[in-house]
Amino acid sequence: MADTALVLGAGGVTGTAWESGILHGLAKAGVDLSTADLIVGSSAGAVVGAQLAFGPAGVDDLYERQLAAPESADGPVGRLGPVTVLRYARAVLSSRTPDDYGRRLGALARDSRPVATADERREMIASLLPSSEWPEGNLLVTAVDAVTGALHTFDRTGTVALADAVTASCAVPVVWPVASAGGRNWIDGGVHSPANVQLASGYGRVVVIAPTATGNKVIASPRAQAALLEAEGARVELITPDAGARKAIGRNPLDPARRAAAARAGLAQSAAHTEAVAAVWNG
């Protein structure tokens, strides 16, 4: 069985901030998760994972950036409004598998009018990344095929640039434009599951940091997926937002005005998990 894996889940702008706070706090306490043999990033987790894969300093910088006030230069603000949420709910009710759900959301995304162009969105994502090149480590970035609904992973062995892979992973259906990369169209990696913990199967020590704790009738929750890894014999520590973090994150995970509060909440929450994470990570 392979050694350590870090799984970073989907959760929008506030999820990125909260994850950066958790990782920043763990690192300050002496638990450096950038040493992972595998980093899996979905949506918000893809942004954070790309930072961490270049070393712990990247996440420290990302955390500090969350504390800055939102500016117009950040680009358009996305929102999962009630109409969009209803369309998502209908897609869930008419789906039997994650791929079914992905196909339906892909169709919605292709027919929508997002708040930014594809080029604008890629530029926004690229500005968050420490490099245009893939890191040397084993980083997997998830996305969902907008036509088939199937989950896909990008890594440094392929032909898709890091910025394109992360843009695809962050393409929240209806809110942001469908992303094109490698000759295919993609939507958010979190559509298949909030964290895609199953990609850490075969690793002996796994830490999962998941801003979105719940699933639905077709999408498994991070906790359910973590339990499957434990059944395989892995040691798993799962971190999801506590009550204080949920309050800080608020109802719109895409709201940049909530970034600083979410980041600070992650930092505060990290102390409660340091001992358990260290026990898993250090064996």
**Can you give the three-state secondary structure of 159-180, one letter per residue?**
CCCHHHHHHHHCCCCCCCCCEE
Residue spans of beta strands (DSSP E) within the chain: 2-8, 38-41, 139-145, 151-154, 179-181, 184-188, 203-209, 235-239
Q: Judge contact between 27 and 56, C-beta under 8 A.
A: yes
- If one counts every other C-beta atom within 10 angstroms of the C-beta of residue 38, the result is 19
Catalytic residue among 20, 43, 95, 193: 43
230-233: long-range pairs with CB below 8 Å, 24+: 232/201, 232/202, 233/1, 233/204
Catalytic residue among 188, 221, 255, 270: 188
164 catalytic residue (yes or no): no
User: Distances in Å between the alpha carbon of 35 and those of 101, 136, 224, 253?
Assistant: 34, 12, 25, 28
Q: Is 135 exposed, middle or buried (0-12, 13-18, 19+ CB in 10 A)?
A: buried
Instruction: Compute the C-alpha angle 187/193/194, nearest 5°.
Output: 95
Please report which residue ranges of 141-258 form alpha helices under DSSP H.
Answer: 162-169, 222-231, 243-249
CA–CA separation, 273 and 242 (whole Å): 11
Q: How far, in Å, CA of 202 to CA of 204, rounded?
A: 6
* 37 labelled catalytic: no
Query: Which residues are part of the catalytic machinery?
Result: 43, 188
